[in-house]
Structure formats: structure tokens, C-alpha cells
Structure 1
Amino acid sequence: MRISTSQFYNQNIQTMDNEQSQLATYYQQLSSGTALTTPADNPLAAAQAVQLTMVSASYSQYTTNQNAALTSLQLEDKTLSSVTGTMQAISSQVVRAGDGSLNDSDRASIAKALQGYRDQLLTLANTSDGAGNYVFSGFQATTQPFTNATGGGVNYHGDDGIREAQVADTRQVATNDSGSSVFLSVPSVGTTPVSAGNAANTGTGTIGRASITNPVVTTNGHSYSIAFGGTAAAPTYTVTDNTVVPPTTTAATAYNANTPIPLGAGMQVAITGAPNPGDTFSVTPSTAPQNSSMFSTLDSMIAALQQPVSNNPAAQATLSNALTTGLSAFQNSLTNVTVVQASVGGREQELQALQTTTQTNSLQTKSDLASLTGVDMVSAISNFELTQNALQAAQQSFVKIQGMSLFQYIGG
């Protein structure tokens, strides 16, 4: 086989070019630390690297969302802890106010203390984060949720919106609770009906807390009114179920202070003292609007404690009824706050678990991506040295061989 001079030159130049190109590739890998500089280096690995990069970016965003959500929930949790502590202090003061040995001045002092606690509750209800976003305003994050209402209670300027954060591929977590759900509502489960006496009553009858005698009876959630008739010497009462349509009223029954009054088939309430004919009492569900706002409840108790009742048995009975009503409704509100706080705590625990999982998955993804695109330095240096030696050998061989010819051999 004959090898022409041009063919000889071309083959050697091509060999050295290939070695030079390979050497440049190894040099690029060593200097950048990346095995994939272009998709052409390894199309399959490049496609996998794109997928892993997208997954890694998702984990980074989830981590950011989880941290932000956890910060919001921790602020709410801390605020609700303060609310709970304040409400417990209020309950203690109300119980103390029911002490019959106190005078009007003592009760007025308790009313002032309760007003201070109320101001604390309003401040807590208007808590905001460092960025000026209110915790309990729903979607209206920059709007102060609560202001005092004329005549007692508060006005709510937020909405019922629940802000959610995407914290995993298929999981969103609520990062707030609306002010209406925390401060202006009461759950039906775990709370008790609210007993009340009419402020216009003239007798000395006082109503106690309603008790459930049969938990499965549906009428336990109905609204009842108790009206007294007969005579002062022989009082009677009737019970009206105001929830059914039309309302139903029982026959007049002789009143006995030692006998509880049945309400429906599963609830009863005790009324003691001497109600006058025309006096009325009520037992309403915990979820009724008049029982749901902790601020309205607190304002009613403060107003009742500010009224003088000394040496006035009827006024003392009215105060006792007001405190019984207020304390029952306020305890229901406290139950609601603890339920919300438990929900917040559960979400915090979930986020902390997700943070651990996300961090683990993120590290694994980054490791897989590094294995796919990174350079094995030992192997790359070895290949670089081997290719460099091969190029040098090819160059030196070409220099020696290209000068050889038949004429030189004959002449020699």
C-alpha cells in the first residue's frame, strides 16, 4: 500500500489536532470544575442536569416559603399565648367580683382592672409583624382589624381570608387566622350554653349555668326563654323553645327553687331566689351572635360592675346574672382561642417536619447534580497528563519522521 506525502501529513496533523482538542476539553473541565460545558458533551446527562436543576430550585423556593410561613405562625402563636394569659387573668377577676362581701367601690376597682385587660386584648388583636402586616386581618393585611365600636364591642375591618403558602409539591399551609374566627366566634363543640337573666327583672331570681343531661339530644342547641307568671306567693314558669317553627311553649309549672328547670329533653338549668311574675330568663347556644364576641362580653361585665347594687337585692341579682352570663360566654371564647392556638401549633410542627424533609431532599438533589455535572479531579488530571504526553510524543515523532525519504537513505 502506497502512502502519499500529503496523506502522511494529513493523518499526523489530524492526530495532533484531536489530541489538542481533547487536551483543551480536559483543561476546561479542570479550570471550571464542570464536566458538562455544553449539551454536546453528554446529551443525556445534560437533560438530566436540567431536570435536577429545576428540582433543586423548587426545593429552594419551598425552603423560603416554609421559613416565612413558620415565622408568621410563630408570631401568631406567641400572640395567642399572650391573649390566653390575659383572658385567664380576666376570668379570675370576674370570679372575684362575684364575692358577696365586696362593696360597690371594690367592684368599681375590678371594673377598672378589667378595662385595662380589655385594652391589652385589643392591642394583641391588632398585632402586626415588622413589615406592617396585621396578623388577624385576613387578606386585608395592611388594614388594622379592630377598632372600638360605639356602645361597646368592636368593629372588625378585616375579612375571613386565610393566607396560604405553598410549602411542598402538593401541600399548602395556612399562615394566619382571621380576627373574626379568633375573637368574634365560638365553636359549637367543647363549649356550653349561655344562661342569662333579663336586666329588667324586678325579683331576686338568679340563674345558674345550664347542664347537659343527655348529650345526644339535638335540642341542646336550641334557644330557650323562661317566663315567670302566677303570683309572688305561688310563682309559675313556662319554657319556650324559640328555635322550632313555630315556637313551642310548655304548660305553666309551679316554681321550686330547689328543682332544676328542664329544657327540651337533654338540658336543664337551675334558677334560685324569688323571681317576680313577669321576670324572664334565657338559655342560648354558645354560638349565638350575642355570645360570640369576647369584647362585647367583657364590656357587658364591666358595665354591670360599675352599677351600684349595695342594699338592693334586685340589683344584686341582676349583677349576679350578668356575671354568670359573662363568665360563661367568656370561658367559651377562651376555649375558642385555645382551639385556634392548638391548630397553629400543629401547623408549626408540620412545617418543622417539612423543613427537615426538604433539606434532606435538597442535599440529595444537589449531590446527584454534582455527581452528574462535576469533574472527578483525579481522573481528569490523569487523562490530562496522558493526553499531553501523547500529544508531545506525536509532535516529536512527526518532526523525526517527516524528514525521512528514500533519497536521504540512498545518500546516506
Structure 2
Amino acid sequence: MRVSTQIIFDQNMKSMSQQQSAFMKVGNQLATGRRVVNISDDPQAASRAVNVQQSKATTQQMLDARVSARNNLSQQESVLNGLGDMITRSKTLLVQASNGAMSELDKASIAAELEGLYEAMIGQANVTDGVGRFLFAGQKDDSAPVVKIDGRAQFVADIVPREQFIDDNRKMTVRDTAERVFAAAPGSTTYHVKVDSANQGTLVVNSTNVLDTTNPQFGEKFTVAFADDGAGGLTYSITTAAGEQATGAFNAGDAIEFGGLRFATSGTPSAGDSFTAGRAAEMDPNLFRTMEDVIQQLRQPLETDEQRAAQRNVLSESMRELDHMLDNILTRRASVGSRLNELDTLDLVGNNRLLAYEQTLSDLVDLDYVKAASDYSMRMIGLQAAQKTFVDIKGMNLFDYLR
């Protein structure tokens, strides 16, 4: 077969172009530090790298979400810490006010300090984060969760806690509601007693003692009502949700026992007087209402035994409610602490996962500089050889040999 000059030129040009392309590819790899610059360099590795990049981006997004969650929970923990101090101080003031030697002026001074604490508690309920969102407003964090209506603090209705994903399949509550913090109480065997504010007698419920937690009626909410026996004495009846459960005669100072509980009393009730007992969570606890009631009561003049009995009952009930609310605050703080610990654990796992993804990406697409440098030298030699060959062939002339 005859080989024309055109064929020789075309083959040398093609060889030189291939060598130049290979040389430029290695140079591009060295410049970018990546083995896979284009998908065509290694389609399988490029496809796997896309999947790894997506997983890495998701993991980074969860890390960012946990930063936001940690900020919210840390602020809540700080508020709960301060709120616990306020409740403790309020309890101390109520103990002082319960001293019979306190004058009305002294009680008015205590009421003034309690009012300052009360306003501070409302401020804590309506505290905002660094961008103006209300910390205890749950999903409605653009409006205050506690408002004052006719001088009484009210919780905004229909607020639910805010949750967010902190990992692929884990949602966490990052914003509690004010009602859960300032009104809810943990379920327990602790009983709370509420003496009817409309009572006309001098009955005071001094204490509640648990006698038998195995009693079949232990844990039920019930009301004790007093009535005239028709002979100048008093009787009492105990009613639960199921109806009347017990009755008996009552004399001033008698203790009342029911459902494994014993209630120590003093004073004499009037016919129609009553009190209700139940688990703390069933008695509709509300820190703001407790503070409002006790502040109002401490400012009332005491002119009759009935008024003194009413104040003793309010002080006693308020101290029990503050104890329950402090328990609730401590429970909430423990919950926040456990969630913060979980975030730390997830961060540790997430960071390790990111390192694993980085290593996988490096194995798939990163450049081996030692091998690339060797390839670069070889491609340069190949390109130079192709260029030299082309120059030599181009200079050949048959007429040089015809002499």
C-alpha cells in the first residue's frame, strides 16, 4: 500500500494532539488537586462522589440545626435557673408572712416585693431570643405567650411546643410553651388542697399526710363539704367523680381521713364550706394565679377570725403550689439538660460521620500527587517526542536523495 505524505502528516498531527491532550489533563489535575475533574475521567467514582456529597450536605445541615436547637435550649435553661431562684425567694417571703407577729404594714411590704417578683416572672415568660422571637411561645413565637387581661395574667390558647429535626430520624422539642413551664406540674403522689374562697367559717387545712398509697381510692380527686346535722353540729361528706363516697360527724379540729390520706384541720367550718384535694397536676396549678392571689390576700385588712383563716389558707396553699411549681421547674431543667446532652452526643457522631465522608470523597476524587507528578513528566516527554518526530518528518524531502 502506498503511504502518502498527507497520511503521514495526519498521523503525526493526531499523535501530537493526543499527547498534548493527555499532558493538559494531567496538568489540570495538578492544578485542581483532583483526580476526577470531569465526569468522563471516572464515571463510577463521579457518581459515588455525588451521593457522598449529598450525604455530607445533609449531615452538615443537621449540625447547623443542632446549633440552633442548642441556642434555644441554653437560653431556656438560663431562664429556668433564674425562675427557680424567684420561686425560692417567693416561698421565703410567704414563710415570713405566715408569722403571726407580722403587722399589716410588714405584710404590705412583703406583698410589694412579691409583686416585683410576679412582674419579673411574667417578663421571663415573655422573654425573647436574639432575633425577637418569644422563647416560650412554641410554634407561635411571633407573639407573647402571656398577656394581662383585667390585671390577671393569661396564657394564650392553642400554643404547642416547637419541634425540629436534629438528625435524620430524630425530632426534638426546642421551644417549650409558657403554660407547660409556668402552669403544668409533674404527676406525682403529692396532693394539693384548695379551700373554697367562698367559705364563711374559720376552717384551716394545716397539712396533708399520706397514710396508705395502696388504698383503692388513693390518687382520686375529691371534695369535702360540710353541712348542718340539724342538731347544732356539723357533718361532712366526701364526693369523687363517681359520687358520694363517705360521710361522718365533724367537730372543730378533727382530722379527716380518706383514700389513704389524712388532713389535719383547725378552726370551725360553716355549713356549706368545702375544700378540694387532688394530685398536684389535677388542681390546675398556675404560678401567676398563685402569686396574684397571695399578693391580693396580703393586702387585705384582717378584722375577723374568718378573714384570718382565709389568709392562712391562702398562704398555706400558695406555699404548697410554689413547692409544686419549683418541682416542675427542676423537672423542666432536667429535661433541657438531657436534650443538651443528646445534642452533644449527636454532634460527636455527626463530626465523625463528616470525617468519614471526607475520607471517602478523597479516596474517590482526590489526586495522588506523586503519581500525577510522574505522569506529568511522562506526558511531557511523550509530547516532546511527538513534536520532534513531526518536525523531523516534516523536514524530509525525496529530492535530497536524487543527485
2:369 to 335, 358, 377: 377
SS of alignment partner, residue 16 of structure 2: helix
Q: Residue deviations 1:105-132, cap 9 Å, x none?
A: 2111111111111011011111011211
Name which of structure 1's ranges 278-287 and 126-135 shifts more when overlaid on structure 2.
Answer: 278-287
**Equivalent residue number for residue 210 of structure 1:** 208
1:326 to 318, 330, 351: 318
**Equivalent residue number for residue 387 of structure 2:** 395
**Equivalent residue number for residue 293 of structure 2:** 300
Deviation at 1:254, TM superposition (A): 4.3
Task: Give, in whole Å, the separation in 1 of the partners of 2:201 and 2:286.
Answer: 28
Q: Judge conservation of contact 1:192–1:332 (CA < 8 Å) in 2.
A: no
Q: Residue deviations 1:230-273, cap 9 Å, x none?
A: 489x74432321321xx21533324363x53112x322211123
Q: Judge conservation of contact 1:212–1:220 (CA < 8 Å) in 2.
A: no
Deviation at 1:277, TM superposition (A): 4.9
1:12-411 superposed matches below 5 A: 12-150=12-150, 153-157=152-156, 159-189=158-188, 191-196=190-195, 198-203=197-202, 205-216=203-214, 217-230=216-229, 235-244=233-242, 247-255=243-251, 257=253, 260-263=255-258, 265-288=259-282, 291-309=284-302, 312-401=304-393, 403=395
Task: Give, in whole Å, the separation in 1 of the partners of 2:153 and 2:213.
Answer: 34
Task: Give, in whole Å, the separation in 2 of the partners of 1:75 and 1:10.
Answer: 75
Deviation at 1:202, TM superposition (A): 2.6
Distance 1:190-1:135 versus aligned 2 partners, 3 A rule: farther
Runs (4 or more) in structure 1 with deviation over 6 Å come to none
SS of alignment partner, residue 346 of structure 1: helix
Distance 1:367-1:235 versus aligned 2 partners, 3 A rule: same
Q: Judge conservation of contact 1:198–1:280 (CA < 8 Å) in 2.
A: no
Q: Judge conservation of contact 2:138–2:160 (CA < 8 Å) in 1.
A: yes
SS of alignment partner, residue 271 of structure 1: strand
SS of alignment partner, residue 394 of structure 1: helix
Higher strand share goes to which structure? 2
Identity rate of aligned residues, in percent? 25
Q: Judge conservation of contact 2:237–2:245 (CA < 8 Å) in 1.
A: yes
Deviation at 1:48, TM superposition (A): 0.9
Q: Judge conservation of contact 1:309–1:315 (CA < 8 Å) in 2.
A: yes
Q: Residue deviations 1:76-100, cap 9 Å, x none?
A: 1111111111111111111111112
Q: Judge conservation of contact 1:195–1:209 (CA < 8 Å) in 2.
A: no
Task: Give, in whole Å, the separation in 2 of the partners of 1:407 and 1:281.
Answer: 130
- What TM-score comes out, normalization by structure 2 length? 0.91
SS of alignment partner, residue 367 of structure 1: helix
Task: Give, in whole Å, the separation in 1 of the partners of 2:250 and 2:395.
Answer: 136
SS of alignment partner, residue 193 of structure 1: strand
Task: Write the letter of the residue equivalent to 1:397.
Answer: T
Q: Judge conservation of contact 1:292–1:329 (CA < 8 Å) in 2.
A: yes
The number of equivalent residue pairs is 402
Distance 1:250-1:165 versus aligned 2 partners, 3 A rule: closer
Task: Write the letter of the residue equivalent to 1:43.
Answer: P
Distance 1:235-1:195 versus aligned 2 partners, 3 A rule: farther
Task: Write the letter of the residue equivalent to 1:182.
Answer: V
Task: Give, in whole Å, the separation in 2 of the partners of 1:379 and 1:147.
Answer: 71
Deviation at 1:337, TM superposition (A): 2.1
